[in-house]
Structure 1
Amino acid sequence: MKCFQENAPKLPSVSVSPSAEIMEGSSVTLTCSSDANPAANYTWYKRNGNPALQSLSNESQLIFSSIQSSDSGLYYCTVENVLGKRTSGDFGIDVKYAPKLPSVSVSPSAEIMEGSSVTLTCSSDANPAATYTWYKENEDSPLHSGQIFTMTDFRAEHSGNYYCVAQNTRGRHNSTLYLTTAGKTALIPNVIRLTLVVLSLIPLLLLIVWMRKKMSSSHEAESNEVVEMIEMQ
């Protein structure tokens, strides 16, 4: 008869399948292996700085049926039997994904006055990091390469749709922003608004003048009545 010597778990090793680049949405399996007798129990964890870590699985394999970008991070397993417990080293998962829908911002965010400077900023979540290219709608040639695009001396003829393309080795995504200049004619609406305010105040002023005249006439009539009564007496 063979005699099997009991032993505590050996230092566990972690392997991943597939071993190639991990793409978002793909199926990924982590396997924890250790020599132990009696058979060991396995527990998987993700390292996130929380001392009260929640276990992810109590099997020797941790399976992601459709791995997401949020699953990127460091993983480790523990192996335990009645004779002892061992913990594996950290195993890093880096999920690659195409750029998400870019967000585009403009500065200044108020009305763009003719002749002023305008800065556009494009940002997108991507792994690996995205590169950015700026275009104007209906124009084939790119205007600028880079996350930040500044246009000086913005004119009315520059108005239109601008869009940035965020791209990496996994794909591309773009977002559009419409720009238009308020022009020098922006002064006209301001003058009109001021004129309307002044015109709306005129009736109020006339009403105040009329009331004052009425009060003055009333006081004068009362004074005349008092004088007449004194003369009669």
Structure 2
Amino acid sequence: MRVGVNGWMDVGLLYSKKPNPDDESLQSLMFVFYTYLDIDELKSPTIPTFELQSLIYTPSTNLAENQNVIFTCIGNVGREPQGNFSWYKYVGSQPSGMVITNGINPVSLTTVSGSCTYMRTEKLTLNLTKEDNQMVIRCTVQQTTISEAGDRYIQTDRITVNYSPKINSILADPNLPTYSEGPVQLMLICKADSNPLSNYVWTRPDGSKQTGYQLRLRLLTTNHTGRYTCLAYAEWGGQNYTAKTNVDIEVGKAKERKEMTLICII
């Protein structure tokens, strides 16, 4: 056997037939057969490194609380025994991810031609909550290394989750059951939790309006008595989402000051 400079092998195969007893010469019939083989065909297929090709999610914009989002991870998971995908969710500033075990739906596992490896496609469905705002989803290949990084991983950027305003309460400062007329200042503060941040509109008892989360009442009179309503609103996807609450304020007449005359008798 000789290996040529062009990468081909010259293989000589010697075959011998049994002597033919009817052949007076009793000579064996010998022949040599030569063929050529591509030396690359004798090499073992290379084992590619684990490769995660893509991680996408749909829908990808204007995501909102209570909405279902489908994440799709595609990647090479090696040869037998092929690896699996593990999913992790990172929320806020937590240093470690939470393993996701629900909502996983394997779609396909196909062989990769010429490499004896497998390509895996898997989907994950999540129902979003407001706590998922700014989360990161990671897809990992787990075969020889079982960890949050696995043998390879791919992850999303931080994902924005929108949610409607929720007003917990209105703060009155000072907080009194009844206010008296006079040079007293009353501050009403309305704060809502939402993403994006809320805008605010106050409605006074007389129907007049004022924007901003604070409403300042100066020089209280009985005309300030009534119901004050706070409306919080946030907009995304071309729609407004609102919440409102109210507080009742009562302002009474100031007590009359009675003058007293003190007489000192010596």
TM over 0.5: yes
Q: Match of 1:54?
A: 98
Q: Match of 1:172?
A: 242
Which residue identity lines up with residue 78 of structure 1 in the other structure?
T
Q: Secondary structure of the equivalent of 1:166?
A: strand
Q: Does 1:33 align with 2:74?
A: yes
Listed as ranges, the gaps of 5+ residues in structure 1 are 189-233
Cα deviations across residues 87-116 of structure 1 (Å, max 9, x unaligned)?
Answer: 223432211122113521101112422121
Q: CA deviation at 1:24?
A: 1.6
Equivalent-residue separation in structure 2 for 1:186 and 1:90 (angstroms):
69
Which residue identity lines up with residue 124 of structure 2 in the other structure?
L
Q: CA deviation at 1:81?
A: 2.7
Of structures 1 and 2, the one scoring higher in RCO (CA 8 A, sep 6+) is 1
Q: Greater share of helix residues, 1 or 2?
A: 1
Q: Match of 1:79?
A: 141
Aligned partners of 2:205 and 2:224 also within 8 Å: no
Q: List aligned pairs for 1:195-210, cutoff 5 A.
A: none
TM-score by structure 2 length?
A: 0.61
Q: Does 1:69 align with 2:130?
A: yes
TM-score by structure 1 length?
A: 0.69
Q: Match of 2:51?
A: 10
Among 6, 26, 45, which residue is 2:88 paired with?
Answer: 45
Q: Match of 1:112?
A: 179
Equivalent-residue separation in structure 2 for 1:186 and 1:89 (angstroms):
71
Aligned partners of 2:194 and 2:234 also within 8 Å: yes
Q: Match of 1:224?
A: none
Which residue identity lines up with residue 92 of structure 1 in the other structure?
R
Listed as ranges, the gaps of 5+ residues in structure 2 are 1-40, 105-121, 259-266
Number of residue equivalences:
184
Q: Greater share of strand residues, 1 or 2?
A: 2
Aligned partners of 1:9 and 1:40 also within 8 Å: no
Q: Secondary structure of the equivalent of 2:151?
A: strand
Q: Does 1:92 align with 2:133?
A: no
Q: Does 1:134 align with 2:177?
A: no
Cα deviations across residues 33-87 of structure 1 (Å, max 9, x unaligned)?
Answer: 22232243111112245455431138432211x3211122122121123487012
User: What's the Cα RMSD here?
Assistant: 2.8
Aligned partners of 2:136 and 2:155 also within 8 Å: no
Aligned partners of 1:119 and 1:148 also within 8 Å: yes
Which residue identity lines up with residue 22 of structure 1 in the other structure?
L
